A = this chain, B = another copy of it.
Amino acid sequence: MRISELSDRSGVSVASIKYYLREGLLPEGARSSATQADYDERHERRLGVIRALLDSGVSIADARAVLAALDDPPASPHDLLGAAHAAVLPHVEGELDLAAAEALLARMGWTEGACDADVVAGVARALQNLDRAGFTVPDETMDVYLDAVERMATAELAGVPLGSPEDAVRYVVLGSVLVEPLLLSLRRVAEQIASGRRFDVSTDAADEASDEPLRRPT
C-alpha cells in the first residue's frame, strides 16, 4: 500500500503521516525504491493507536514513549506498566512535599517502595494543587476514592490476558493510558446523575426545589 492509500484508509493526511514518520511514531514502510515505500495493515493499526493517543491528550513525545514501550516491552509486565506510566506522567519541576501523599497511601497499606517515586510525586502534586486552591477533600470522600481506585486496579490487572504476550502488552499500556479519559468522563456523568438526584431536578420545578437548601441566609 502506498502512502496515499494509507492516508485514505486511516483518514490521516499524507502530511501528518509524514510528520509521524519523522517523529518516529510510525515506522517506515518497506522501501521499494528511492521514492517509494510500502505500507501494510500494521501501519494502519499503528496509525489508529497514534490517533487514539493524540486525541486522548497525549503529546507527541509521550506518545513516542508509550509506543516504544509497546514495541520493546520490558520483560516483566510490572516494569511495562511502570514504563507506560512514566511516559504519560505530567513532567513536573519544582519541589514537592511528599509527606501528605505518603501518609495518604499508607492508609491503604501502600508503602512507597512498592511503586515508582514519580507516580507518588503525581499524587503529591495533585494534593498540593488542591491545597493551593483552598480545597479540602473530606476524609470519607478520600476513603471512597482510595477504595475505588483499588477496585479498579484489581479488576484491570485481573483482566490482563495471559495467553499472548503481545495482547498483555497492549492491554497494560493502552488500558492504563486510554482509559483515563473514559474514567473522567464517566465520573462527570455520574456526578451529574447524582447531582440531579440530590437536588431533585425535574425540568419544571428545578429552580425552586434545588435552590432552597443552598440559599439559607447566614
Contacts and interface: CB of A to CB of B under 8 A. Distances in A.
Interface of A: 45, 48-49, 51-53, 55-57, 75-78, 81-82, 85, 89-90, 105, 108, 110, 114-116, 119-120, 122-123, 125-127, 129-130, 132-135, 137-138, 140-141, 144-160, 162-165, 168, 170-172, 174-176, 178-199, 201, 206-207, 210-211, 213-216, 218
A48 B172 CA distance: 36
Contact of A81 (B130, B154, B195): B195
Given A157-B194, A170-B134, A78 B206 contact: yes
A119 B185 contact: yes
Given A75-B207, A89-B188, 17 more contacts: A48-B134, A49-B133, A55-B125, A78-B210, A82-B192, A115-B196, A119-B185, A123-B186, A141-B152, A141-B159, A144-B151, A144-B152, A145-B179, A150-B190, A164-B218, A176-B191, A180-B187
Contacts of A55: 125, 129, 132
A62 to B, nearest CB: 13
A171 B110 contact: no
A145 B144 CA distance: 13
A211 B75 CA distance: 6
B56 A123 contact: no
A218 B85 contact: no
Contacts of A108: 190, 193
Contact of A182 (B116, B120, B126, B180): B126
Given A57-B90, A162-B213, A190 B141 contact: no
Contact of A190 (B53, B130, B152, B193): B152
